[in-house]
Amino acid sequence: MLHVAAEIFPFAKVGGLADVTAGLSRALQAQGVDSRVLIPAYPPVRNRAAGLRVVWTCDNVAGLGRAEILQAEVNQDQAPLWLAASQAFFDRTGGPYADSRGIPWPDNLERFAFLCHCALRMAHGVTDWQPDLLHLHDWHAALTAALLGGQGSCRVPCLLTIHNAAYQGTASCAHLRSLGVPDDRLPSFDGAASSFLGLGVRWAERVATVSPTYARELQTPRCGCGLDALIRDRGDEVIGILNGIDVDVWNPATDPHIVRPYTQDDLAGKQACREALCVEMGVDANLQGPLLGVVSRLTWQKGLDLVVSAASAVLRAAAGLVVLGRGDADLEQAFVSLARRHPRRVAVRLAYDEALAHRVIAGTDALLVPSRFEPCGLTQMYALRYGTLPVATPVGGLADTVFERHPREPQRDPSNGFVVRPMSARGLTHAIRRARSLFDDPSAWRARQHNGMREDYGWARSAQAYRQLYDAMLREDPGIPGSVVP
């Protein structure tokens, strides 16, 4: 089967999508699924990928210009990789979605329609390997499901995974038609369904989301981003499968980025990581209370304005705050101003720094994840694995992974963090005060750390669920021979 996505770690990464594409494809390979990946040939990918060779060319794909499909040599533990190459669409400086100033590319719809048309050609068997199923990731790949309905198109079923419904690739019906969508696959009018993601939801054989709670939330007007009715219409063809994390990369016992390794049974190294992080970031290491961390895009979605609003109360309950990330200019400036007002208590690094992210998660005592919506989230799982207690809102995948048991609910999952209720600066302050109270009881704090560290957050369980879904999709269509599972 073929994954189609805009990112994959380590070749191209903006956010969690890259980690998911890499982790899932690799885990499926380990379970015997012939799992391969198609992404755009951004310049950094072409520079990093080894042994590139052209396996297919076309002078004009769907009116979008010259196309090449390249095959790369990858390490044995990586899934085979193909690149959709276009000099016009991808040979440019900047990132996958925006230029160096952060301004989105004005032709993003055309760029990712091109990716989808290359996926369509691979489904038709233009290379020496032909998939029997397509796994489409987010709006960038979703149009493929509608393109497969064209006259004479091959019958390859599609699974669409929605990683974040807030990003849809919205276009008018006329624009979609110009990108090659057949008339009988177009929506009847411009609206929520008139988007790459809307067409994917409508025409993919199955729709998955990245957590069970998010699958339910997407069917509500509050979280469905205009697609809730369309998703409700799919009924039990929508499934939520919780993402995993790479437990080899995110392992405090072997992490090369941290000053001292540690395990669930020996947490002494975590204190050394805290001390080293304080020195690196200029925070007073002698202050009492939990050291709080943020590793995130600095956006309204992530609820980080609540941290700014509650800063005074938060700092009364905590030793300090370390922030790592980039995002909205107003939020960036708010955190910088906070650090200036509270030197030696607040440290801010406006950057995407993978190695520093490991050190922040290892060196802090609690990680703030007050998202307004969070399809799955990975940082809270990284934090749990590192004995760093998440302070999180009960939304999406956060609700499926972070638990704070109420004394009157003994049947609930054991507490492994702190749940923010209500979703407000006041709710965040209350949760941090509970964290401070527990932190002052070292044995109780360690018990909650152990609850998080002993859980299995790896990809094997999620990959098994996807594998079963792939097989079910192939069995249900008698026109499709074979199975992804040998």
Predicted confidence at residue 152, as pLDDT, reads 56
Distance, CA of 19 to CA of 300 (rounded, Å): 22
Indicate the SS3 state at residue 253. Answer: coil
**Beta partners for residue 89, in sequence order:** none
Contact indicator for 8, 36 with CB cutoff of 8 Å:
no
The residue count of the chain comes to 486
Predicted confidence at residue 480, as pLDDT, reads 41
Predicted confidence at residue 409, as pLDDT, reads 58
Predicted confidence at residue 340, as pLDDT, reads 97
Predicted confidence at residue 50, as pLDDT, reads 87
Going by the DSSP 8-state scheme, the letter that residue 414 receives in this structure is P
Predicted confidence at residue 481, as pLDDT, reads 35
Distance, CA of 17 to CA of 137 (rounded, Å): 8
Average pLDDT, the chain: 92
15-44 mean pLDDT: 93
pLDDT digits (tens, 9 = 90+) for 144-175: 999 997 555 667 999 999 999 999 999 999 99
The enclosing H or E element of 312 equals helix 311-317
368-373 mean pLDDT: 96
Tokens of 222: 């509050």
Q: Check residues 20 and 191 and name the one with the higher pLDDT.
A: 20
Distance, CA of 33 to CA of 378 (rounded, Å): 24
254-261 mean pLDDT: 98
Domains and CATH numbers, the chain: 2-244+460-476 (3.40.50.2000), 268-453 (3.40.50.2000)
Q: Is the dihedral of CA 176, 180, 186, 189 positive or negative?
A: positive
Predicted confidence at residue 479, as pLDDT, reads 43
pLDDT digits (tens, 9 = 90+) for 68-99: 999 998 877 788 999 999 999 999 998 999 99
94 exposure class (CB count in 10 Å sphere: 0-12, 13-18, 19+): middle
120-131 mean pLDDT: 93
State the maximum Cα–Cα separation within the chain, in Å, rounded to a whole number: 70
Nearest to 136, CA basis, from 159, 105, 168: 159
414-436 mean pLDDT: 96
330-336 mean pLDDT: 96
The fraction of the chain above a pLDDT of 70, given in percent, is 95
pLDDT digits (tens, 9 = 90+) for 185-197: 998 877 767 999 9
Tokens of 292: 């709080």
Model confidence at 485: pLDDT above 60: no
Model confidence at 126: pLDDT above 80: yes
228-254 mean pLDDT: 95
Task: Indicate the pLDDT class of residue 483, thresholds 50, 70 and 90.
Answer: very low
Distant-in-sequence, close-in-space partners of 105: CB < 8 Å, separation ≥ 6: 92, 94, 97, 98, 99, 111
Predicted confidence at residue 344, as pLDDT, reads 94
Tokens of 447: 């018990």
Distant-in-sequence, close-in-space partners of 354: CB < 8 Å, separation ≥ 6: 257
Task: Indicate the pLDDT class of residue 484, thresholds 50, 70 and 90.
Answer: very low
Indicate the SS3 state at residue 404. Answer: coil
Nearest to 199, CA basis, from 229, 169, 154: 169
